[in-house]
Structure 1
């Protein structure tokens, strides 16, 4: 049984090995001379800040400040950088060691002693603070009993987020982020315009019980959700119209055990899957009955393009913004395939391996089959400015439910870890609830849903075992 998660929200996590090292480094006594030689702070003399190194950095940067009359008590001296208090690790008369705090934007270095309200020294040079990507929490909480339930309301009060999720921004309203939950109570709306979380539609409204994904039609006028159930004549996908507020679900297709459905961003057809035999289906959604009426395609008028590997393959389809290819994210078998688009035939072709190895779970960065994944879940394509002018300008960021992280997949098939699995000094577990630096501090617990806002360069992560919606972005000023 897994021990209870370690939970922290501060970015002042002290790594005990590092602490011991620097306390030793700043000590001014030795085995041969046990008498401390560094004098204490002398109130009759001024404190002087003469220099510091390095000159630039972000939150968590190790900073050494040089000067005079710092004393020898790290509990007495207080350091502020840019108006934010730093953690002092050690002090030795003419130097002190600290960690740069978050949001130290203006970089002014100030030295205080004890409870005195005014600084006793101010550096003549400012530290050049660099904002960096950090993990924070947008909404949600988990109490000790985990019985907080589902609560609609402002981000500060909302609760829920407790099942594996799939997320998608409304293409015509970037303030609206829709969330579907597997085994959850329905579809939720995260409204950034008024900072609220509300239930948009109940599961019973669409006769759903396992909503696995959601997407939008090419014109943005329809929302499509996939539904996982075991009746071959049961609902596999449903469609709802913007004209009716996305609250008028109609059956789009019927088939067994659908894990996801995605719309081609250029030609508009829909691709969805079947878990039972690894089926990969194509359906011309824009010519379906719910859109054009009785003359349209019916719920069984889809075609099987190919089968993925074997029976019992849980996967979803993530289509590149260009439409040139799609990744088939195989959740339960720990790998990702690529299928290329045939523009003449307007359909995807037989897929091939991009990263990971079928049936082999693990955590290892690498290229192609050398990389190890564990339950990849949802991904987003993000434009990389370093690729400008190349054939493919996008990286693929994806969550891994049981590696408790976010990974990056490059167009060449290289996998690296982007965020999570930090704070290794706390305990050896990769999961938990920790905010801060993407890799040094941050932890997730079974992240699933992932969305990206291009305008603000921010990721939103459904951290379902932590019952929270997390955010990855540059520190806010």
Structure 2
């Protein structure tokens, strides 16, 4: 073991990695414990060696490390003379220089911008720490022992740290223990578990604090209620469909009815069910009978309902507002076939643009995206054309249009981009790219970029995992499927299947 490691290792036995790395959680989720002191020393030594050798990339010199520093002397003042770097965001590695810092990282506390920083090591005239979240004011302050309310710092810097706001990934609710036996348990955010199937997410149009989630393969329909921070089960999947294959949730234009698509093979099986707000969305009734439905969407302007057939790749239209379920005369088989795409046996999810001018068709199991433009005169979507991805090619690549590559593009949501104000199309389209473990963005000009995920390249070569922090540099997902956007918050919510949780993406 090197002198560098020997001089610092004793301070790190109980070190918890910061949320931007979150290594304990990344390896085995919650309750991860390394057995054996030798293993702890070996892993810590490796991390420290890499950390300090890489510090020079940020202008932090390894020569700043001091060995066998004197302990803190309370009879002498603490001074801050400098720190480097002078700017950065969440998780930035930082060295503070000065005097009388001592040699015990458990005793010294560093606050940056009023937020407590993670102290990694201290050696007399140097403190090594990580910049905390939301350190907006930039003041660098030092305390000894536990900071008391209204306590004045023992030292503060004359200059301010220039905090750079980031877009970060965090976890709203849910977790996966090392046995993955936490089960499905509704309740408060700090105790609810589940989220272990692919899903589609959609906000209640009359109650923006309720996010509905329709789960494939059994669990049913759940809500995330932001008004009281709870997860609630609305209805079991078997109550809606005998095979429990719920493949999407949408709402009528007036918001009084919820429609749910489900997949069964027989032509006489239910394909779309309808539930009323008056009954709490717990009274599923058959709206349409057909086979192999893979999704459901309602046009945001004229209210027509669209669904599809798996076996033939056919898009279908149903005049829901004239249905007998809403006081009209149409029956459960009075739908119209519009067109078929090139692939049969396709898994389908259609997302309408907020203006209604077009929709994207996510061809999940064939790895590409189609666009279908709307015929306003005849109230129906036209024959689609491919805008991104390559049919039957599962890969990962950013690029323009058909040069981009996906691997199971699942849920999608349109988000207004203020930079596009006044343009013909003011919306970007965000996609949960399931087996690429990323959130992608499809822009109106056809450009596909990676928005979130596949970070922390220093951990290992995998694109998947559980890591929080910077949306691209650190964050990782493991099979994201559902995606929703809250415009008032400016926040995305992502159903992270293999991590058994709902993630949140927001700017600080």
| Alignment TM-score, normalising by the size of structure 1 | 0.88
Tell me by how many angstroms 1:212 deviates. 0.7
Select 1:160's aligned residue among 194, 197, 205: 194
- The number of equivalent residue pairs is 462
2:424 to 391, 395, 413: 391
1:33 aligns with none
What is the Cα deviation at residue 99 of structure 1? 2.8
In the alignment, does 2:281 pair up with 1:246? yes
**In the alignment, is residue 292 of structure 1 matched against residue 327 of structure 2?**
yes
Change (3 A) 1:59 1:148: same
Structure 1 residue 131, shift from structure 2 partner: 3.8
Asked if 1:216 is matched to 2:251, the reply is yes
Equivalent in 84, 89, 92 of residue 61 of structure 1: 92
| Rounded Cα–Cα distance in structure 1 between residues aligned with 2:49 and 2:323 | 62
The alpha-carbon deviation at position 193 of structure 1 amounts to: 1.2
Match of 1:305 among 338, 344, 349: 338
Structure 1 CA distance for aligned equivalents of residues 257 and 124 of structure 2: 68
Return 412-421 or 57-66, whichever deviates more.
57-66
* Aligned residue number for residue 4 of structure 2: none
Q: 1:42 to 1:242 in 2, by over 3 A?
A: closer
Task: Give, in angstroms, the shift of residue 89 of structure 1.
Answer: 6.5
Give the match for residue 263 of structure 2. 228
Residue 391 (structure 2) pairs with residue 370 (structure 1): no
Cα root mean square deviation, aligned = 3.0
In the alignment, what sits opposite 1:426?
459
1:206 correspondence with 2:240 = yes
| Alignment gaps of 5+ in structure 1 | 31-35
In the TM superposition, residue 256 of structure 1 has moved relative to its aligned partner by 1.4
The one of 157, 161, 169 aligned to 1:127:
161
- Residue 470 of structure 2: aligned partner: 437
- Residue 103 (structure 1) aligns with: 134
CA distance in 1, matches of 2:392, 2:256: 39
1:6 alignment partner, one of 4, 27, 49: 27
Q: 2:182 aligns with which of 144, 148, 153?
A: 148
Q: For residues 177 and 39 of structure 1, what CA distance do their matches in structure 2 show?
A: 54
Aligned mate of 1:82, from 109, 113, 125: 113
User: 2: CA distance between counterparts of 1:448 and 1:23?
Assistant: 39
Quick check: 2:204–2:212 contact (8 Å CA) kept in 1? yes
What SS class does the counterpart of residue 134 from structure 2 fall into? coil
Q: Secondary structure at the match of 2:63?
A: coil
Cα distance in 2 for partners of 1:410, 1:178 equals: 26
| Whole-angstrom distance in 1 between the partners of 2:234 and 2:107 | 53
- Asked whether the 8 Å contact 2:53–2:62 carries over to 1, the reply is no
- Checking the alignment, whether the CA contact within 8 Å between 2:84 and 2:95 is kept in structure 1 is yes
1:16–1:425 contact (8 Å) kept in structure 2: no
**Structure 1 residues 18 and 68, CA, compared in 2 at 3 Å: closer, same or farther?**
same
Aligned equivalent of 1:381, options 385, 409, 414: 414
Give the structure 2 partner of residue 272 of structure 1.
Answer: 307
Q: Structure 2 vs 1, CA of residues 450 and 395 (structure 1 numbering), >3 Å: closer, same or farther?
A: same
Deviation, 1:198, is 1.4
Distance of aligned partners of 1:55 and 1:148 in 2 relative to their CA distance in 1, 3 Å threshold: same
- Partner Cα distance (1:104, 1:8) in 2: 27
Cα deviation, 1:261-293, whole Å, max 9, x if unaligned, reads 101000110111111111111111111111124
* TM score, norm. by length of structure 2: 0.83
Contact 2:368 2:391 in 1 (8 A): yes
Aligned to 1:434, what secondary structure does the other structure show? coil
Q: Identify unmatched segments of 5+ residues in structure 2.
A: 1-24, 31-46
Decide whether aligned partners of structure 1 residues 197 and 450 sit closer, same or farther in structure 2, where only a CA change above 3 A counts.
same
Moved more, 199-208 or 238-247: 199-208
Does the 8 Å contact 1:140/1:161 carry over to 2?
yes
Matched, 1:404 2:437: yes
CA distance in 1, matches of 2:223, 2:453: 26
1:19/1:89 contact within 8 Å kept = no
- Report the Cα distance in structure 2 between the residues aligned to 1:16 and 1:330, rounded to whole angstroms: 46
Deviations 1:64-122 (A, max 9, x none): 54545668998886533134343456778776654311232443212356889985421
What residue number does 1:448 align with? 481
* Whole-angstrom distance in 2 between the partners of 1:101 and 1:356: 39
Aligned counterpart, 1:326: 359
State the distance in 1 between where 2:306 and 2:337 align.
10
SS in 1 for 2:366: coil
- Separation in structure 2 between the aligned mates of residue 453 and residue 442 of structure 1, nearest angstrom: 20
Q: Give the CA deviation at 1:57.
A: 3.5
Are the counterparts in 2 of residues 227 and 235 from structure 1 also a CA contact under 8 Å? Answer: yes
Q: Which residue in the other structure is 2:35 paired with?
A: none
